[in-house]
Amino acid sequence: MKVVTIKDVAARAGVSPKTVSRVINGEDHVRAEVREAVQRAVAELDYRPNAFARSLSSSRSYLLGLFIDDPVSGYAADVQHGALLRCRARSYHLVVEPVELSRPEWREQIRGSISSLKLDGAIIAPPVCDEPALVDLFVGAALPHVLMAPSVEAMTSGTVRMDDERAAREMTEHLLAFGHRHIAFVQGPVSHSASARREAGFRAAMAAAGAAVDERAVLRGDFTFRSGMEAGERLLSLKKRPTAIFASNDDMALGVLITAMKCGLAVPEQLSVSGFDDTASSRAAWPQITTIRQPKAEMAAAAVDILTDPRFRRQMGDPEFHLLLPHALIRRGSTGLCLAA
């Protein structure tokens, strides 16, 4: 169980440990031949730097934290995966920290990870990125952090987001283009700031097209499959039944779709259904659901890039650290021409 240390490498290469350290960290001021000798020694001994010793002495941890509300969701999985791969490419590691805002000890837990693990940076996913008390913890600790899809661009934090409102507008226009006028909308939970933006986009597009929004056909959901089913049931039993339903995420859209099938409605012939996010649920259905592709993995990867960019610490306010990533409307089988009388 012998552990190879930097001293062993130094001895083998005939240099001092400090020089080995320089080579490992890609610093300047090392002659090419010495560098090669060290690299050879590293390879021969299969040397791996001890991450803890390195962190202790350099006060960098090479660790990023991912703070997330519901780590079981498909959304979380995509975000985590994107962050993980980019971390690996940058020789960082990722620590996932579930945040349970419902339990009072969440502050303690977060402060514990920050100061115990000496995180180099944090990625804060929705919806907890909209909790000011939480973000303040990071600001207070002067810990670089990036908010994903936040409601506002705080100047003390980096941000990575997509244009929810515009995307929702485009989706609504897509439905309008098919001739739909009576379009229902299933809202997301108020705790997600994206909910409001998506609804605003829907209303803006309707208004621009001169189509009235039937307020009885605007229902609140909570981004779950079940809430989508419930909304679907209520919408389909309306006297004036909508010809299209725009659910503000895919899980709810799937719920609506399943409900439509239960009611014997053909999709998209008798009812168009559209979602948002492009999570697995939108593909696990038939017809597959027309949706907005949210670049979740890319957003997470961009967050990692920002946090590991050495310039970031000094320039949190730099616009370069407020990214807007492009979305895309993905046309699939669940939306089509309005065939209503």
The listed partner (DNA, a copy of itself, none) that binds 140, CB under 5 to 8 Å by sort, is none
Greatest alpha-carbon pair distance for the chain in Å reads: 87
Half-sphere exposure of 17 (CA within 13 A, CB side): 8
Least distance to DNA, CB of residue 32, Å: 8
Nearer to DNA, 46 or 215 (CB): 46
- Output Rg (C-alpha) for the chain, integer angstroms: 25
Per partner kind, with CB cut-offs from 5 to 8 A, the member of DNA, a copy of itself, none near residue 107 is: none
Give min distance, CB of 134 to a copy of itself, in A: 17
Q: List the single partner that 21 binds among DNA, a copy of itself, none, CB under 5 to 8 Å by kind.
A: DNA
The answer to the question of residue 58 lying near DNA (CB under 7 A) is yes
In the complex with DNA, which residue's Cβ is closer, 22 or 145? 22
The answer to whether the beta carbons of residues 39 and 69 sit under 8 Å apart is no
In the set 1, 11, 12, 24, which binds DNA (CB under 7 A)? 24
The reply to whether 5 sits near DNA by the rule CB under 7 A is: yes
Judged by CB under 7 A, which of 11, 17, 95, 333 binds DNA?
17
CB of 279 to DNA, least distance (A): 40
**Using CB under 7 A, which of the segments 1-9, 63-71, 94-102, 252-260 binds DNA?**
1-9
* Binder of DNA out of 1, 29, 91, 264 (CB under 7 A): 29
Interface with a copy of itself (CB under 8 A): 1, 3, 48-53, 55-56, 61, 71-74, 76-78, 80-81, 84-85, 88, 93-96, 98, 109, 111-113, 115-118, 142, 225, 229, 251, 254-255, 258-259, 261-262, 280-281, 283-286
Least distance from a copy of itself to the Cβ atom of residue 60, Å: 10
One of 26, 28, 102, 210 touching DNA (CB under 7 A): 28
Of the candidate spans 44-52, 190-198, 226-234, 280-288, the one that interacts with DNA by CB under 7 A turns out to be 44-52
* Chain residues that interact with DNA, rule: CB under 7 A: 3, 5-7, 14-22, 24-25, 28-31, 34, 47-50, 53-54, 56-59
